[in-house]
Each structure stands twice: as structure tokens, then as C-alpha cells.
Amino acid sequence: MKIRYQTGFASLIQFIIISILGVPHALVSIISTCSSDHTNCISNMVVSLIFFILTVIWFGFMAALGFFAQDKRNTKLAFILMGCEAANAVVAGYINFPGDTNILDKGISLIDTVLSIWVIILAFQLMRAKGGRVVKKHHIIQNIKKNL
């Protein structure tokens, strides 16, 4: 399967991976806080749960946006998806990555940044097609030569 404009598929993969990686991230945060500071254990558990839910909602929104952009071949939705993914890449790659303290957090930030860039590239190709099929220039040039 060639993935040229499948922003829905790419954003769904991003949603699944980040949601799965969010569970160990939350568990590590809860365990480290509860083992060192017993008074903040419950409050950290609640904050970690709320953060996980908000993360799932955000990536679910971007996955839905990716599917709508792909299904409708809508350039405006592709542009909005690119903006959301760019914001996500900035947060994960520029803000979180240098400040992350452990290897799990750095790995999740790196994976999130790479997946965001992948979705941005696919959304850009979809936007550049302006509602048409996404094809390589090589195929267009060959078809023009055949018709001449």
C-alpha cells in the first residue's frame, strides 16, 4: 500500500502509538511521586489521569481531522491538520525534548515529533493536490509524453 495522502491512516497510527505510550508515562510519573512523596500521591494520580485523558482527546481530534481531510480531500482541513501537527511537533520536539529528564520521556517526545512530521508531509501533499488525486510528478510527465 502506497501512502501518499492517507492522513487518516497516519494520524490514527499516531493516536494509537501515543495513547499506548501514555500509559507507561503516567505510571512512571505516579510511581516516582508516590515512592518519594506520599502526601502528593493522590493529587499526582489525578493530574496524571487528567493529562492522559486530555492527550487522548487531542490526538483523537487530530486523527478525526486526518480522516476528514483524507475522505473529503479538503485543502482547508489539510491545512488545519498541518497547523495542529506543527503545534504538536513544536511542543514535543522543541519544548519537551530538551526538558525531559528520563529516557522514556525523551523517547516519547522523539516518536511524537517524527510522527507529527510524517502527518505534516502527508497533509501537505493532500493540500497541494487541491482536491484531486495525489500523484508523483514523474507519472504526470510520463502521461503528458504519451499524449504528445
d(CA 53, CA 144): 51
pTM reported for the whole predicted model: 0.77
Backbone φ, ψ for residue 133 (5° rounding): -75, 145
CB 70 within 8 Å of CB 129:
no
Give the residue extent of every domain in the chain: 7-147
Chain segment 54-90, per-residue pLDDT in tens: 999 999 999 999 999 888 888 899 899 999 999 999 9
